[in-house]
Structure 1
């Protein structure tokens, strides 16, 4: 049997990928990487230059981007596409998109978001574990009127409690069908979608995958949805809380560990004394996440606006359904972490749609792995409505609040040694600086609310 060197194997795979793309009519290839926001960045090359792109020909000045920490005099980083991540654009099949890793001087770039997640996936693999992840994608599709107001695409979408509204679905059938067909055309296997709890808000649920694949898909999903909406004169927003009186958009992370050797779900257990159908490994994972929850918040809820979602009340249907405490429990939605009825997985409800999925998954996974290694115990699960506890009751239970602002979350992120270990010093420092600047810009801005309240008050 002929043995090929790694470079020869890559050349064979590249040629095969190029031939397949040419047969499909693809004209251009895009090597995409994520900035600190998880936004897709990259260069486009004609398919005739595909081999060069696959070898890392496309170079980028990190100093021109958010969260690719470089100085202007540093050597450029190169994007190396993952050939298994190909996604032909459903709205423009002449272009193929690839998730890519950044390299510097021929080596993986320490501050590459995708590389940061890959390092934690390797740490899990070293324990014989595969991290599986499903993300529930919530989003608004809106149109902007001439006066600047933002409204749902359907004039009939005005119910005070529009959650699961069938008419809201039917009024948006053509748009939602295009979104779902695009997702399924990419092999994502959508199994449910609905009108969510706010006017103009929807959710799609699709099959889980390994953590890297899911982070790639989430990144592409936001790009794709924006383009599909734009074709119709609408826009998609992934802002955590666009309307103060409506629920925000979460990106609930559904997490489990599987055996690399057998594929068995190692979070699943029928012998759970708490009745949650969660294994000891699953409880250890939960404990690790809870231990680092305050620092994790900065990454899973990474904007000023995120903390306007993580409140007890603030929408017309009553409670926000968003968590405000560092707690876990059964199939109730008032905990940061919940175990759904079927068991075998853990859902983090504090994540929102503005996160960088690579960074969010990396820090959550690292915390969970620490819980596993150190055999941590999260205590007894909470099945009650956590919103209704007094401060005294919460204190007696040892339950703390999630951060109430981006500033508080960044303080926790900076103080937790795990963050620098996971992100590496370069990205950890850059993340803190960027987010502190974001908070300061918000904090010193004079808003219309302040003018309305104080300008003629005294």
Structure 2
């Protein structure tokens, strides 16, 4: 490939016979620039804007990042470059953002090897462990978010000033007022073939959710990252901020990131439903019950990945909201079609994991959950009978009360500590970073403390 691309014909540099899979996609979509993207362990999207004239360098893994500067990536300032290796299967045209722009998800490498601290690499490693047992995973994701602005005094307010009622869920008027934003996102998803099937006002004033079809677990994780990017950028274009913060408002419902998960025999044979042998009445096989058993067994440690911020525990610890429900659980329970449990079983084909929130890194959350579930399958763990509506079993694990409690639970769980790329070193690095995050917050004097203690004694 030549290094020069004419402005009039941006793909003349790629002789047809020499096109790589990524170059074919670039040519077919009229792409001029690529966002070569990966996320750090906190989920922050990192990218370089690459002109198609440099596509060969990108494909060769020559696009280097200073890993320490990128974020939580397991590097120090003196370490060598993270080199972004693109996955052509993740190519996503983003003409809705800028004409000629596309995004491709990348796997960071160091010294020619996949970097074990990279979240996408971690999920691929977890899926490889499944594949070694003849299984694959599919996932769906419910992406919730708030649309907000900052008032002159710095406080958060809903972007739609008329959206201020205590019971706005599914409100047709709130959806209509945000019609341009919601339809732009919907059309973007459908244009990409994601199968957007619903867009609704959620339980909090200013809160929305937009859904797309389930797919292979890696594809869904990529799409969550891409959708967050789209939501942020398109909201900014309309003078709003889209936030996935778990609890931006004290008195409103928190923001979840619920995952629908299922296991398959290769790609075609569903492993969860099965005739006969249903020990607990939900239409499941022993494989499915073992998967649930593993998640519940490791639930306290798992929350370090599903609810990974200080703010996360303002959501799970909430006792009430304006609407009257928190829609989050603080116990590791499972039941049928009941949204008050950590694991909901809407039908015999899948489970819904409800304890994750909007700050979760989708790669780490899915990887850690699959690892926990696989441990349950291999140990034939029995989750016991499902809870009835609103029921809580006294022996169920209590979920961590704070991020520090979640870190401590992770450190006490050797299996989950080694679930990230099969290395306790990676798990300990993550745990140390999250403890530091908690202590950084804890060391700040808040308005609540001043009001409570200034003249208390």
* TM bin (shorter chain): over 0.9
Alpha-carbon distance in structure 2 between the residues aligned to 1:133 and 1:122: 16
- 1:278–1:312 distance in 2 versus 1, CA, 3 Å: farther
Partner of 1:8: none
Residue 257, structure 1, aligned to residue 257, structure 2: no
Partner of 2:404: 407
Partner of 2:292: 286
TM-score, normalisation: structure 1: 0.92
Shift of 1:143: 2.1
1:383 to 355, 380, 388: 388
Partner of 1:422: 419
TM-score, normalisation: structure 2: 0.92
Partner of 1:165: 171
Write the mapping of 1:45-64 to structure 2, written as runs, cut at 5 A.
45-64=50-69
Write the mapping of 1:251-400 to structure 2, written as runs, cut at 5 A.
251-260=257-266, 263-269=268-274, 271=276, 272=278, 274-311=280-317, 313-340=319-346, 342-386=347-391, 394-395=393-394, 398-400=395-397
- 1:19–1:344 distance in 2 versus 1, CA, 3 Å: closer
- Secondary structure of residue in 1 paired with 2:23: helix
Shift of 1:74: 2.1
Tell me, yes or no, if the aligned pair for 2:335 and 2:343 is still in contact at 8 Å: yes
1:17 to 22, 29, 36: 22
- Secondary structure of residue in 2 paired with 1:256: strand
Shift of 1:61: 1.8
- Secondary structure of residue in 2 paired with 1:147: coil
Alpha-carbon distance in structure 2 between the residues aligned to 1:71 and 1:246: 39
Partner of 2:125: 119
- 1:71–1:143 distance in 2 versus 1, CA, 3 Å: closer
- 1:12–1:63 distance in 2 versus 1, CA, 3 Å: farther
- Secondary structure of residue in 1 paired with 2:431: helix
Shift of 1:54: 1.1
Alpha-carbon distance in structure 1 between the residues aligned to 2:241 and 2:106: 26
Tell me, yes or no, if the aligned pair for 1:328 and 1:338 is still in contact at 8 Å: yes
1:105 to 102, 107, 111: 111
Alpha-carbon distance in structure 2 between the residues aligned to 1:102 and 1:175: 33
Q: Deviations over 1:163-203 (max 9, x none)?
A: 11111111111111111111111111011121000000011
Shift of 1:324: 0.8
Shift of 1:23: 4.7
Partner of 2:452: 453
Q: Deviations over 1:361-417 (max 9, x none)?
A: 11100111111111111001002314xx5xxxx43xx11210010000000111211
Between 426-435 and 232-241, the greater mean CA deviation after superposition: 426-435
Alpha-carbon distance in structure 1 between the residues aligned to 2:38 and 2:450: 41
1:130 to 136, 143, 146: 136
Tell me, yes or no, if the aligned pair for 2:280 and 2:384 is still in contact at 8 Å: no
Shift of 1:454: 1.9
Tell me, yes or no, if the aligned pair for 1:110 and 1:426 is still in contact at 8 Å: no
Between 137-146 and 347-356, the greater mean CA deviation after superposition: 137-146
Partner of 1:73: 78
Alpha-carbon distance in structure 1 between the residues aligned to 2:24 and 2:330: 51
Alpha-carbon distance in structure 2 between the residues aligned to 1:228 and 1:377: 45
Shift of 1:105: 1.1
Partner of 1:222: 228
Q: Deviations over 1:292-323 (max 9, x none)?
A: 11110001000001011113522012121101
Tell me, yes or no, if the aligned pair for 1:331 and 1:383 is still in contact at 8 Å: no
Tell me, yes or no, if the aligned pair for 2:117 and 2:426 is still in contact at 8 Å: yes
- 1:25–1:333 distance in 2 versus 1, CA, 3 Å: same
Tell me, yes or no, if the aligned pair for 1:15 and 1:51 is still in contact at 8 Å: no
Alpha carbon RMSD of aligned pairs, Å? 1.7
Shift of 1:45: 1.6
Alpha-carbon distance in structure 1 between the residues aligned to 2:77 and 2:97: 36
Shift of 1:437: 0.8
- 1:95–1:401 distance in 2 versus 1, CA, 3 Å: same
Tell me, yes or no, if the aligned pair for 2:29 and 2:93 is still in contact at 8 Å: no
Residue 244, structure 1, aligned to residue 250, structure 2: yes
Shift of 1:19: 4.3
Alpha-carbon distance in structure 1 between the residues aligned to 2:274 and 2:451: 56
Q: Which has the higher helix share?
A: 1
- Secondary structure of residue in 2 paired with 1:177: helix
